[in-house]
């Protein structure tokens, strides 16, 4: 049996007047996702346990079959793992964005989706000025980086995600709690380093948002003790993503991490390349998960038509070709689901359940419904504990 999972990050949404009172999934031309829902099983799954923050880390642990309430210790250690950093005793990490703050407000959580090449130069300068044996910035992808503390004592600090406060005064959302003074000091000093950097001068000349400061959040302690995916489910698995979080999960769970040239983690990603690499990976691995960040990014920026376009690109270049390739493999199953909603009206993640659709060998459709939030809500298949979906997908006679 071959298995494929496609995760259009943040795809679930709410009806919008701009889209004729439809959700992006309803508005998009997604015949391949609709086919999977119609010939297979359509349902609703809660990927965010009640009471937990609706982050992609929590959600994707659930998607991958692991109970976040048992295994989640923070996002920082997972993203650090994607960079080859295994936290040692006495080390503490934060996810750290390069952001644009103007007139005291969070103008852009991604500094204009700054390129990895530009951000690497900025991170290098920040390390030269602010780095020490205790503090180091690790460059990631685009605006997403890691702030690593060594021997800096325990943190018990409350931080706010940058993408949750766009347009709001930052003074209301600065880190608070034990260790917050260290973070606030670095954030303020980063303004000085970045203000006159050549990278930012060029970006301003090109009328692009400059990176004006760092914004740390999503801290975490050591990596959890967590079983490998093959040990847990018996499948040799590979994962394709352009973001450090998912790649970190691949490292932690012993999955093969596949890098796709042209994959950016944004709406300009090379969708077709992701589809091709997934098909190639199915020749070697039992299960391949393809994560596409684009719908989530469009949700955070509030661009409804871009979100619709991203869904259509995923359907055309990833879901369709991968499903067709699986049909030639004999026995197979394919699953499509968002990890969490990112409603355009709110521009941030929410914890509501998300639709999922699966089809393939021994999967029988009781009702022929398209892949939408409303049809999933009307289905008779509800999975309250999201981490149970993986075993259901892999082993159940449906």
List, in order of start, the domains of the chain with CATH numbers. 2-72+225-395 (3.40.720.10), 82-220 (no CATH)
HSE-CB at 318 with a 13 A cutoff on CA atoms is 32
CA neighbor of 58 nearest in space, from 109, 260, 160, 66: 66
Q: Cβ contacts of residue 58 below 8 Å, gap of 6+?
A: 47, 48, 49, 52, 68, 72
d(CA 308, CA 24): 5
> What Å distances lie between residue 327 and 4, 194, 272, 335, 390, CA to CA?
11, 52, 19, 14, 21
Quote the Cα angle for 19-23-27, to 5°: 60
**Tens of pLDDT along 134-153?**
999 999 889 989 999 988 66
Average pLDDT of the chain?
A: 94
What's phi and psi for 78, nearest 5 deg?
-70, -45
d(CA 368, CA 215): 46
**Tens of pLDDT along 154-186?**
788 889 989 889 999 999 999 999 989 999 999
For the whole model, what pTM was predicted? 0.85
> What Å distances lie between residue 346 and 79, 101, 233, CA to CA?
25, 20, 36
**Tens of pLDDT along 247-283?**
999 999 999 999 999 998 889 999 999 999 999 999 9
3-state secondary structure of 323: helix
Mean pLDDT of 91-109: 94
Cβ–Cβ under 8 Å, residues 213 and 99: yes
pLDDT of 123 above 90: yes
CA neighbor of 359 nearest in space, from 30, 40, 28: 40
**Tens of pLDDT along 375-387?**
999 999 999 999 9
């Amino acid at each position: 049996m071959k298995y494929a999972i496609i995760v259009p990050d943040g795809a679930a949404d709410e009806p919008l007047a701009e889209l004729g009172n439809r959700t992006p999934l309803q508005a998009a031309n997604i015949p391949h996702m609709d086919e999977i829902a119609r010939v297979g099983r359509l349902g609703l799954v809660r990927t965010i346990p009640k009471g937990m923050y609706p982050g992609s880390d929590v959600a994707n642990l659930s998607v991958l079959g692991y109970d976040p309430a048992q295994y989640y210790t923070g996002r920082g250690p997972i993203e650090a793992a994607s960079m080859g950093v295994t936290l040692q005793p006495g080390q503490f990490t934060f996810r750290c964005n390069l952001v644009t703050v103007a007139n005291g407000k969070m103008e852009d959580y991604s500094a204009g989706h700054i390129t990895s090449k530009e951000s690497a130069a900025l991170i290098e300068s920040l390390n030269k000025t602010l780095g020490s044996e205790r503090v180091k910035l690790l460059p990631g992808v685009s605006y997403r980086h890691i702030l690593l503390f060594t021997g800096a004592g325990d943190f018990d600090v409350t931080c706010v995600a940058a993408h949750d406060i766009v347009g709001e005064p930052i003074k209301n959302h600065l880190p608070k709690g034990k260790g917050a003074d260290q973070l606030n000091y670095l954030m303020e000093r980063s303004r000085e380093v970045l203000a006159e950097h050549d990278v930012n001068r060029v970006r301003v000349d090109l009328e692009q948002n400059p990176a004006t400061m760092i914004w740390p959040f999503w801290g975490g302690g050591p990596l959890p003790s967590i079983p490998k995916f093959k040990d847990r489910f018996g499948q040799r698995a590979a994962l394709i993503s352009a973001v450090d979080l998912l790649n970190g999960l691949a490292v932690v769970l012993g999955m093969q991490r596949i890098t796709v040239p042209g994959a950016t983690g944004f709406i300009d990603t090379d969708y077709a390349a992701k589809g091709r690499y997934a098909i190639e990976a199915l020749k070697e691995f039992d299960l391949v998960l393809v994560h596409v960040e684009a719908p989530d990014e469009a949700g955070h920026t509030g661009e409804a038509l871009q979100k619709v376009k991203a869904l259509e690109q995923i359907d055309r270049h990833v879901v369709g070709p991968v499903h067709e390739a699986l049909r030639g493999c004999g026995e197979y199953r394919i699953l499509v689901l968002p990890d969490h909603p990112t409603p355009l009206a709110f521009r941030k993640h929410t914890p509501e359940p998300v639709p999922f659709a699966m089809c393939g060998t021994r999967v029988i459709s009781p009702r022929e419904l398209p892949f939408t939030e409303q049809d999933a809500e009307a289905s008779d298949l509800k999975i309250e504990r999201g981490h149970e979906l993986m075993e259901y997908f892999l082993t159940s006679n449906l």
